Amino acid sequence: MSDKPMFEVFTTPVGELVFPWITKADTRYDPDGLFQTKILLPFEGAQELIAKLEGTLADYVGTLDIKKQKSYTQTPVFQPELDEDGEETGNVLFKAKLKATVTPREGDPFHQTPVVVDAADGTAVTEPVYGGTMAKLKGQIVPYTNAASQVVGVTLRLRSVQVHELVTGTGGAGAFWSDFD
Question: What's the pLDDT at 1?
Answer: 45
Q: How confident is the model at residue 173 (pLDDT cuts 50, 70, 90)?
A: very low
User: 47 lies in a domain?
Assistant: yes
User: 175 lies in a domain?
Assistant: no
**Number of domains within the chain:** 1
Tell me the pLDDT of the chain averaged across its residues. Answer: 89
Please state, as a whole number, how many other Cβ atoms lie within 10 Å of the Cβ of residue 114.
Answer: 24
User: Is it the case that residue 110 has pLDDT exceeding 50?
Assistant: yes
User: 178 lies in a domain?
Assistant: no
User: 179 lies in a domain?
Assistant: no
User: 174 lies in a domain?
Assistant: no
User: 75 lies in a domain?
Assistant: yes
CATH, residue 51: 2.40.50.140
Which residue range is the domain that position 104 belongs to?
8-169
Question: What's the pLDDT at 26?
Answer: 92
Question: What's the pLDDT at 4?
Answer: 55
* Strands 15-26 and 34-42, bridge-based pairing: antiparallel
Q: Which of the two residues, 21 and 172, has the higher pLDDT score?
A: 21
Task: Give the pLDDT mean for 131-135.
Answer: 94
Q: Which of the two residues, 170 and 121, has the higher pLDDT score?
A: 121
pLDDT tens readout for residues 11-47 = 999 999 999 999 998 989 989 999 999 999 999 999 9
User: 181 lies in a domain?
Assistant: no
pLDDT tens readout for residues 74-91 = 999 999 999 999 999 999
User: Is it the case that residue 68 has pLDDT exceeding 90?
Assistant: no
Question: What's the pLDDT at 96?
Answer: 97
